[in-house]
Chain A
Amino acid sequence: MTTSSASPKKTARKTAPRKRSASAKRTAAKKSPAVKPVSVLIVGAGFAGLGMAIRLKQAGIEDFAILERSNAVGGTWRDNQYPGAACDIPSNLYSYSFAPNPNWSRSFSGSEEILGYIHHLVAEFKLESHIRFQKNVEDLSFDEKKGVWTATTDKGEKFAGRAAVMAQGPLSNCSFPAITGIEDFKGHKIHSARWDHDYDFAGKKVAVIGTGASGIQIIPELVKQAKHLKVFQRTPGWVMPRPDFATPQWNKKLFEKLPASQQAMRNLLYWTHESMALAVIWNSPLTRVAERVARLHLRRQVKDRWLRRQLTPDFTIGCKRVLVSNDYYPALQKDNAKLITWPIARLSEKGIRTVEGIEHQVDCIVFATGFDVSHSGTPFPVKGRKGRVLGDEWQGGAQAYKSINVSGYPNLYMTFGPNSGPGHNSALVYMESQLDYAVKGVQKILQEDLKVLDVKEDVQRKHNKTMQKRLAKTNWNSGCKSWYLTEDGFNATMYPGFATQYAAQMADFEENDYETA
């Protein structure tokens, strides 16, 4: 996986809320719904959920529970363990400022090391006892009279909290893409986010479908193992060089002995990435410079003109996720690798049929086709005041206030909610602002013993009007198709500005923006 910013690549798909099984419903009916509420109920034990827990603890709030659907923490970094998985933001920036790690082995760490860091957070901040594993939330409902959110799991268990934090992550669900004939293929199928570590690629003919953030990391690794690798590309992305190097021992010691030096490095990385917004978010002269750098990178690594043409994007840099790799282009040019840019007609029993009429027969297909990103629904039904259902309200595209609250759904906080995605900076920088904002909201609920802390509808509407006006001027809305946008071109994903602006937006908790009861 990767990213920065918000995430790896994805396939926009409307996620329908899952239905509870009949037995689960029966179980739920038998049990009493009277569950003692904790102060804060957190859904998800990935970076966001655990970060939330840490900030709550640091604010003196210990009464919280984390519901995790899996049996382990780590979220997207637990799931994305494919060969070559790494973050494309430097580790000193892709980590929490309140939990620095002086021992990152590389400037861009792999997923295993990042997962190790997440485990370290759990141990360091003693979070284990707060986590309820294998609690797959299937419903989240607000009781206005009591001022309590109740989460119901697929087994009918109920958990309640005075406030709730949806930290399930935008990139936690994946599925095989809807390619015609996918059920006909008799070979092995692997999704990048659900890697099959038992499958031996040696001597196998392998296809990779997808050349986004995950694909370009998997390909250089698979080409070393497979007998033959065919890479099926739909749209080439902009690929920038990756300044990746091993961290020298003295550097680790320096960061350990002098934490200020690591903070200084973080600041340097932060401002370097901030400056990239000028190239990536808006179409400016710097956009041309960034495209020039990417073109030079391509020209330096690929000598064949036709291959270069196949790999040259036809959209403005930044419109889709910017990719970072030093070994992707060389991997494509290995003797046992081939880039296929013909459209896929269908999958057949033995492989992939492309429109030029050839059936590419393979033993295994790796789908690096991204995640099921919901722009217009919720991963499970979320029911607010007066029977409102969030998924219904978001049919035309998700909207929130400052990305974190939604009017009609009091005391509910979202991490990576609508319009919080970065395209140029660390996702965790944005996340920290969200966590601190949520803590302020929770503190107000608890200190003033509020049942309802609900953002005003007109405030939310005004905020979104501004967001969409600003988004219209960004590269994301410049015409390319990406997972950032709905089918209708509505951008419910990205934040149109610098990370510094986002942090400023989240710095103040304006009480007047909220209705209380």
Chain B
Amino acid sequence: MASIDLDKMLAKIKSTQWALSDIDWDAPGAELITEEQWPKLKDFMADLMWIEHVGARAFAAMAKKAPTDTLREIYTYFHAEEQRHANAEMALMKRWGMLEGDEIPEPNINLRLVIEWLDRYSDEMPVYVLGTVVPMLEIALDGALCTFLLETVKDPVCHQAFEKINDDESRHLGVGFSVMEMQGRGKTFIGATKMLAPLLDPRLMLGIASYVPLLNKMRDNIITMGLPEERLYAAMAKFEKIGGRTEDGRRNPWFQVIRQHAKFVVDRNNRAYHMPVDGMVKLTGLIPRRALPAVPSWVKELTYQPTA
């Protein structure tokens, strides 16, 4: 993938803003959600919304560490745009009668742990760590989920909203892969090894411990909802294909780490990986909610209301 001009991208981002009020959330079409679909869709949308929100917080952390002013501003916009996606998805849930009052859907425990980690440690992480993980999450989870959703749901308002969301996401991915290549450009063996040093950072180890079971958990959720898991794997393969298209991209050691991890996730026969990770999913499922601290206040910023 050719490197993109980040200044032009920033200008494009600024000129293509949209708001929730651009969509008529009361337009006809909500009735197209079938009774059978409704409960599954409710869980699905809640997961999707939380992934967007987690992505938002990751962009906020990346903005702190961005190497240039332009990239800092782009990440600041992406932070807000991911929040907008979460807000729009909540608005869809409201439209479909999936929210009671002003209730924010509960995140699953693995998402909750990731939220906790992001809140406490993400700002300390070098930009190339989250800069590689986030495109993977976006392309694999977000990408696979959105495609599936549009295939399944006939409501035109949903399609209208996701057309806008997908336009944003394509820019997020464009920047994401471009930055991954930037980070790999001209990297010597020593330079690349240095980039892997944070793997020894206990804070990052905690992050990995919350990220790894999240992927397996989401895989399980997706299957429950009727999405063939191959779809997820195909999206993950896309990460490998685009991220590894150039030598610079391949030279980014974090691309190699995430790519290798994706291979483990995809290979169901890799029991050495899946047994302990599935065990972690079960174990984390036992954590009582009471044991977790109160959700950080940025979580409460979510809203389905177009105006405030």
Q: A residues within 8 Å of B by Cβ?
A: 304-307, 309, 314, 342-343, 345-346, 350-351, 353-361, 481
Contact = CB atoms under 8 A, between A and B. Distances in A.
A343 B308 contact: no
B296 A358 contact: no
Contact of A358 (B64, B298, B303): B303
A350 B306 CA distance: 13
A346 B18 CA distance: 10
Contacts of A355: 17, 77, 80-81, 84
Given A342-B80, A343-B76, A343-B77, A358 B19 contact: yes
B87 A356 contact: yes
Contact of A357 (B64, B88, B123): B88
Contact of A343 (B69, B80, B296, B301): B80
Nearest to B22: A357
A306 B308 contact: no
A185 to B, nearest CB: 14
A305 B296 contact: yes
Contacts of B298: 306
B119 interface: yes
Contacts of A351: 307
B297 A359 contact: no
Nearest to B302: A356
Given A306-B297, A343-B77, A345-B17, A357 B87 contact: yes
B20 A357 contact: yes
15 contacts: A354-B80, A355-B17, A355-B80, A355-B81, A355-B84, A357-B19, A357-B20, A358-B303, A358-B305, A358-B307, A359-B20, A359-B21, A359-B306, A359-B307, A360-B307
Contacts of B18: 357
A40 to B, nearest CB: 45
Most chain A CB atoms below 10 A, which of B83, B301, B305, B308: B308
Most chain B CB atoms below 10 A, which of A304, A350, A354: A354
Contacts of B77: 343, 355
A481 B69 contact: yes
Interface residues of B, number: 27
Contact of B80 (A309, A346, A356): A356
B131 to A, nearest CB: 18
Contacts of B308: 358-361
Give the 3 A-B CB pairs with smallest separation, nearest first.
A357-B84, A355-B80, A345-B17
B80 A314 contact: no
Contacts of A309: 123
B307 A361 contact: yes
Nearest to A338: B308
A481 B87 CA distance: 31
B31 to A, nearest CB: 25
Nearest to B57: A306
B84 to A, nearest CB: 4
B171 to A, nearest CB: 13
B17 A358 contact: no
Contacts of B14: 345
Most chain A CB atoms below 10 A, which of B77, B296, B301: B301
A346 B64 CA distance: 24
Contacts of A354: 80
Contact of A304 (B76, B297, B306): B297
A306 B296 contact: yes
Nearest to B15: A180
Nearest to B13: A355
Contacts of A343: 76-77, 80
Contacts of B119: 305-306
Interface in B75-122: 76-77, 80-81, 83-84, 87-88, 119
A481 to B, nearest CB: 7
Contacts of A305: 119, 296-297
B20 A358 contact: yes
Contacts of B306: 357-359
Nearest to A234: B76
Nearest to B80: A355
Contacts of A350: 307
Given A342-B80, A343-B80, A355-B80, 20 more contacts: A304-B297, A305-B296, A306-B119, A342-B83, A343-B76, A343-B77, A345-B17, A350-B307, A354-B80, A356-B87, A357-B18, A357-B19, A357-B88, A357-B306, A358-B20, A358-B87, A359-B21, A359-B307, A360-B308, A361-B307
Interface string B1-25: 0000000000000100111110000
Contacts of B69: 481
